[in-house]
């Protein structure tokens, strides 16, 4: 039983990391109709820049702030230079964001060096609790906590504030929102920046969790995030949380019980969902 429990905690933690990546992706898709294949690149940039700040200052929290700022800045630049020229053209969007992904992960090697980087959690997050005979690793609980906080805060913003109202309305029908006098382009940029920042935060949290970070992990996690977005339904924020947890848990259980299938299980999951319910499990909007 305790084994099952720790697998669950593992899966939840991984799920939360994927959620941070997928949440931005799904919002960007829902609002802007852009599928950002470079999202994994932002994840790696968050990880590397965050760890760099963390190493420099010795403060984990400053590292997180650094990652978020990197995400915001990169998000703004990318939206303005790369995404804006190709609004409305799906094939070009796919091609261009994929190219961006290549450039982003190669640039990592130029800026931070081609080697893997090690990262450890700060002391107060190392170690574990014992509850009965169940071992709870602190850092994993921390990730789960952060994931829920991000989810809670973002949901509150989406549901209770004016900007959240605009975003939700935009997901449903952006032409109408524009007609009502909202500068939708500005909202696009804002959402893209926030999405990028969430991805960067996910990358930073990922670093001490896996211990090492490397430039190629962007694509790996990017694919997982896509799977989550597809399962959760494009544009559905809470759907992406549920799907991320589902994917995280499926991977954790499979890795233990059926290791041969662990890499394939999520892709199989996505294939099944796409073939039988291509709109995703929790689709919102009327498109």
Distance between CA 276 and CA 103 in Å, rounded?
A: 35
Residue 186: exposed, middle, or buried by beta-carbon count in 10 A (0-12, 13-18, 19+)?
Answer: exposed
Using rule CB under 8 A, residue 260 touches other proteins: yes
Q: Which is nearer to other proteins, 195 or 208 (CB)?
A: 195
Q: Least CB distance from residue 21 to other proteins, whole Å?
A: 14
Q: Alpha-carbon distance 79 to 36, whole Å?
A: 10
Phi, psi of 35, deg, nearest 5 = -95, 115
Give the CA distances from residue 148 to residues 126, 133, 181, in Å, rounded to whole numbers and listed in that order: 20, 25, 34
**Residues whose CB is less than 8 angstroms from the CB of residue 120 and which lie 6 or more positions away in sequence, other chains included:** 126, 208, 211
Per-residue x/- track, 100-119, other proteins (CB under 8 A)? x-xx--xx-xx---x-----
Distance from C-alpha of 232 to C-alpha of 24, rounded to nearest angstrom: 13
Find the farthest-apart pair of alpha carbons in the chain and give their distance in angstroms, rounded.
60
**Does residue number 242 form part of the binding site for other proteins (CB under 8 A)?**
no
Indicate the residue among 101 and 150 with the shorter CB distance to other proteins: 101
Distance CA 75, CA 193 (A): 4
Tokens 């130029």 — which residue? 110
Among 80, 90, 156, 185, the residue binding other proteins under the rule CB under 8 A is 90
Choose which of 58, 99, 127, 211 interacts with other proteins (CB under 8 A).
99
59 binds other proteins, rule: CB under 8 A: no
Q: Between 130 and 275, name the residue whose CB sits nearer to other proteins.
A: 275
- Residue with Cβ nearer other proteins (18 or 144): 18
Residues within window 9-38 making contact with other proteins, judged by CB under 8 A: 29, 35, 37
Taking the complex as a whole, the smallest distance from the CB of residue 261 to other proteins amounts, in Å, to 9
Least distance (Å) between residue 224 CB and other proteins: 10
Least CB distance to other proteins at residue 233 (A): 12
Site residues (CB under 8 A) for other proteins, limited to 180-239: 219, 223, 226-227, 230, 234
Separation of alpha carbons 165 and 157, rounded Å: 8
Which is nearest to 149 in space by CA: 233, 205, 70, 218? Answer: 205
The only residue of 57, 59, 92, 179 in contact with other proteins, by rule CB under 8 A: 92
Please provide the size of the chain in residues: 287
Element (H, E) at 19: helix 2-32
CB of 152: closest distance to other proteins in angstroms?
29
86 binds other proteins (CB under 8 A): yes
Closer residue to other proteins in complex, CB, 59/92: 92
* Phi, psi angles (nearest 5°) of residue 248: -60, -45
- Residues binding other proteins (CB under 8 A): 29, 35, 37, 82, 85-86, 90-92, 94-96, 98-100, 102-103, 106-107, 109-110, 114, 219, 223, 226-227, 230, 234, 260, 263-264, 267-268, 270-271, 274-275, 278
């Amino acid at each position: 039983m305790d084994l099952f429990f720790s697998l669950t905690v593992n899966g939840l933690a991984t799920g939360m990391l994927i959620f941070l990546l997928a949440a931005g992706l799904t919002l960007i898709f829902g609002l802007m109709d852009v599928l950002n294949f470079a999202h994994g690149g932002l994840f790696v940039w968050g990880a590397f820049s965050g760890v760099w700040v963390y190493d420099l200052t010795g403060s984990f929290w400053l590292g997180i702030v650094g990652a978020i700022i990197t995400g915001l800045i990169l998000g703004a630049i990318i939206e303005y230079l790369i995404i804006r020229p190709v609004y409305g053209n799906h094939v070009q969007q796919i091609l261009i964001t994929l190219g961006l992904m290549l450039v982003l992960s190669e640039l990592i090697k130029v800026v931070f060096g081609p080697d893997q980087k090690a990262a450890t959690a700060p002391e107060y997050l190392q170690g574990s609790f014992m509850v009965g005979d169940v071992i709870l690793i602190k850092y994993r609980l921390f990730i789960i906590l952060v994931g829920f906080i991000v989810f809670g805060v973002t949901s509150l913003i989406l549901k209770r504030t004016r900007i959240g109202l605009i975003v939700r309305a935009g997901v449903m029908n952006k032409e109408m929102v524009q007609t009502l006098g909202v500068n939708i382009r500005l909202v696009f940029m804002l959402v893209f920046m926030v999405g990028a920042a969430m991805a960067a935060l996910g990358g930073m949290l990922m670093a001490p969790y896996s211990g090492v970070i490397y430039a190629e992990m962007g694509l790996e996690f990017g694919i997982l995030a896509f799977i989550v977005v597809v399962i959760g339904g494009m544009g559905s924020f809470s759907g992406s949380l549920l799907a991320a947890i589902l994917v995280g848990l499926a991977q954790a259980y499979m890795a233990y019980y059926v290791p041969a299938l662990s890499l394939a299980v999520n892709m199989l999951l996505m294939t099944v969902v796409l073939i039988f319910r291509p709109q995703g499990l929790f689709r919102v909007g009327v498109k």
